[in-house]
Structure 1
Amino acid sequence: MSTTTFRSHLLAGAFGAIALTAIPSGLVSGITAAHAETALPIIVSALQAKQLIAAGAKIVDVRSAQAYAKGHIPGAVNLPWQKLNVSESDGIRNEFASDATFEKEFGAAGLSYGDTILIYDTTALPGRAYVAFEYAGLGDKTHVLDGGVAAWSEALSTDPVVTSATDFKLDRKKDIRVDKSYVAGKIGASDAIIIDGRNEDAYADGHIPGAQALPAASLLNKNATLQSEPVLTALLESKGVKPDQEVVSYCGSGVAAANNYLALKNLGYKNVVLYDASWDEWSRDPRSGQQVSLANYTFEGTPNAGTDGSPQFLDEKQVKALAGDPKVVVVDVRSPSDFAAGHIPGAVNVYWDSTFDRDRVLLPAEQLRKIYADAGVTPDKRVVLFTRGGLQLSHSYTVLNVLGYKKVDFFTGKFEGWENGAFKRT
């Protein structure tokens, strides 16, 4: 089933497939908010928002108090989303505030279970506010203004809105958050997909293994409205995101992840969860593992290589000329199995990954020195590093420099042309 078909089934309700905009405006006032929202998606147009308001929906401006004071939709109360978040806790940003805070803030805003609610910010995706409302058990009746306050074409008000407080109790919570161990269990699962809402450069720098890059900013048009459904459907399909999968949404600190969460829920995706602690938590745990989406690289053609104390980038002929020199050692940093399958004659193997402990922390210097010394790699020798990946090569070079090795060069060429037409096998 396509995303479009999937969503159309979900939107069928009391009005069937008839959009609310088709209802004569004179009849709107006679429709309850509960009925009015039946045929609507979560993210609504300005016209649909007006119809919801006319039917009794409560309006909540989730921007800052300063922005609210400069102009807000008439009748809107101000509940900045930051009040429902803790900006930082133990190095993790944008966590939910306490339940007591939720009760206080929702009560002060005059909200109750059963209310139909329209929230707005500056874009179509005020995700942090939406997930907070969902956590509080208000998500099923909460709508979002597409495009934010700028989409409101009528006059804004600067008059403060006073509302009667309610005794709001958080007794219908719906926690859509999952923890790190839950996410780890979804890596490689056929019925789940992990999406990363950060920008491409942050994703490339490191991400949860197997996660697909879905920058939350790519879901919006230039005017901060949501991209059309066909565009979003095509984008999701290109990332392998399917409506029948569980979707785990994360980002750097939970903001973009919440935006993606909201967009997917609006499209009709039912099985979406939020890894709220996101990369802030995942990246600092050396046991969690990460994937780097940078293309492999070499150092060939680097200007001034070897002329200023930097490593020389040797070719096959130069490495061969060093064969038999007792003051030179070729260090193959590939895995032991790759080394055993074949290697440069005379090379020794120091697997780059063996320099970490089981928690992915670099071993103490003395242990590192012993690893290299046991392989015959000592600081008095010229070291030629060989591997097939720039990342592994860079790591090994850094470790040797930390240990005080002064002469380290690189060979990143081919195996072809070695004596006997092949490289040595053990």
Structure 2
Amino acid sequence: MNEDIVVSSEWLAAHRDEVCVVDVRDAWEFDGIGHVPGAVNIPFDRFRSEAGDEGMLPGAEHWTALMTEAGLGTDDRLVAYDDEHGVFAARFVVTALLYGHRKCHLLDGDFSAWNREYETTTDATEVSPSSYEVREPDSSPLVDFEAVQAALDTEAVIVDTREEWEYAEGHLPGAVQLDWRELVDEESRGLKPRAELESLLADRGITPDRRIVLYCNTARRISHTYVVLNQLGYEQVDFYEGSLTEWTQRGGPLEGSEVE
């Protein structure tokens, strides 16, 4: 659990000299539109696994090479952002945590929120390669196909973080639907106020006293929801990385209009 996993633009502005900022947008956006001064660019598609294993972790060796190339150290405090309400940056944060990086945060409100209040630059960031080491995390939220299958027969809350139409076409038996974007305020681009989040989640039965199992299609959208639940202090949150991609490949049961 990491209840300060989400940080504000104001926090980043005050601590920029103490953190390493990671921009996960495409290189053309980083170079052409601008970025947080001093940020390094690690585009989203570079820390995803190869085609055929879509959405899964990139592998410890590849992750080490990426972080080393970006000049990031094992003990650096990282703050990641994108320009898509944080969903891509959240996947970076979760990946870093799963490879044992202990100090990693999501910028609330993404690049647009930063850009409204603070300076940006198109200047290239000077990077000196680092010596990065992957570590075992203190604990891991990852669960596999068999664990999710077993969870269907328990009191666990299975949460589908995809859009309503996707859920309607086919979802895990008994899953509740929570589009990850429901947690985001469209105007501020950041998270909704805490009380509003807690009420929204409670209405779906997604409460801190229950075991929560998250899935989507390829582990991107659940990354954002996972980060939010951590910020709210949830302690029993499982992350089904294989998600619906693996579930359907392995013949897991589904409910919905396309399977009736």
> Given the two structures, how large is their TM-score scaled by the length of structure 2?
0.90
Select 1:166's aligned residue among 112, 115, 130: 130
Q: 2:242 maps to what in 1?
A: 277
Select 1:93's aligned residue among 54, 72, 76: 54
Deviation per CA, 1:161-180: give whole Å up to 9, x if none.
12221121213345432111
Of structures 1 and 2, the one scoring higher in RCO (CA 8 A, sep 6+) is 2
Q: 1:127 maps to what in 2?
A: 90
Kindly report which structure 2 residues correspond to 1:381-392, keeping only aligned pairs within 5 A, or say none.
391=260
Read off the aligned partner of 1:120 and give its amino acid letter. Y
Kindly report which structure 2 residues correspond to 1:82-231, keeping only aligned pairs within 5 A, or say none.
82-89=45-52, 92-122=53-83, 123-125=85-87, 126-138=89-101, 140-152=102-114, 153-173=117-137, 175-190=140-155, 192-223=156-187, 224-231=189-196
Deviation per CA, 1:125-177: give whole Å up to 9, x if none.
43211111111212x41111111111112221111112221121213345432
Deviation per CA, 1:336-370: give whole Å up to 9, x if none.
xxxxxxxxxxxxxxxxxxxxxxxx9xxxxxxxxxx
Judge conservation of contact 2:74–2:133 (CA < 8 Å) in 1.
Answer: no
| 1:100 Cα offset (Å) | 0.8
Q: 1:289 maps to what in 2?
A: 253
Instruction: Please state whether the residue corresponding to 1:144 is helix, strand or coil.
Output: strand
Select 1:234's aligned residue among 195, 199, 221: 199
Read off the aligned partner of 2:27 and give its amino acid letter. A
Select 1:58's aligned residue among 9, 17, 20: 20
Equivalent-residue separation in structure 1 for 2:192 and 2:51 (angstroms): 31
Instruction: Please state whether the residue corresponding to 1:248 is helix, strand or coil.
Output: strand
Equivalent-residue separation in structure 1 for 2:140 and 2:35 (angstroms): 30
**Equivalenced residues, count:** 253
| 1:241 Cα offset (Å) | 1.1
Deviation per CA, 1:301-354: give whole Å up to 9, x if none.
xxxxxxxxxxxxxxxxxxxxxxxxxxxxxxxxxxxxxxxxxxxxxxxxxxxxxx
Read off the aligned partner of 1:148 and give its amino acid letter. D
Judge conservation of contact 1:203–1:293 (CA < 8 Å) in 2.
Answer: no
CA RMSD of aligned residues (A): 2.0
Unaligned runs of at least 5 residues, structure 1: 1-6, 12-40, 295-359, 361-390, 392-426
Read off the aligned partner of 2:154 and give its amino acid letter. A
* Rg comparison, structure with higher value: 1
Judge conservation of contact 2:74–2:134 (CA < 8 Å) in 1.
Answer: no
Deviation per CA, 1:226-280: give whole Å up to 9, x if none.
1111111011101111112221110112111111111111111122121111111
Read off the aligned partner of 2:244 and give its amino acid letter. W
Judge conservation of contact 1:43–1:124 (CA < 8 Å) in 2.
Answer: no
Judge conservation of contact 1:43–1:146 (CA < 8 Å) in 2.
Answer: yes
Equivalent-residue separation in structure 1 for 2:97 and 2:184 (angstroms): 22
User: Judging changes above 3 Å, is the alpha-carbon distance between structure 1 residues 83 and 186 closer, same or farther for their aligned structure 2 residues?
Assistant: same
Unaligned runs of at least 5 residues, structure 2: none
Read off the aligned partner of 1:226 and give its amino acid letter. L
| 1:52 Cα offset (Å) | 2.2
Identical residues among aligned pairs (%)? 29
| 1:59 Cα offset (Å) | 1.0
Judge conservation of contact 2:80–2:90 (CA < 8 Å) in 1.
Answer: no
Equivalent-residue separation in structure 1 for 2:51 and 2:255 (angstroms): 25
| 1:189 Cα offset (Å) | 1.2
Equivalent-residue separation in structure 1 for 2:14 and 2:22 (angstroms): 15
| 1:211 Cα offset (Å) | 1.0
Deviation per CA, 1:180-221: give whole Å up to 9, x if none.
11101111312x211101001110111111111011111111
Equivalent-residue separation in structure 1 for 2:77 and 2:44 (angstroms): 18
| 1:50 Cα offset (Å) | 1.2
Read off the aligned partner of 1:243 and give its amino acid letter. P
Equivalent-residue separation in structure 1 for 2:41 and 2:100 (angstroms): 19
Judge conservation of contact 2:162–2:216 (CA < 8 Å) in 1.
Answer: yes
Instruction: Please state whether the residue corresponding to 2:55 is helix, strand or coil.
Output: strand
User: Judging changes above 3 Å, is the alpha-carbon distance between structure 1 residues 48 and 108 closer, same or farther for their aligned structure 2 residues?
Assistant: same
Read off the aligned partner of 1:94 and give its amino acid letter. G
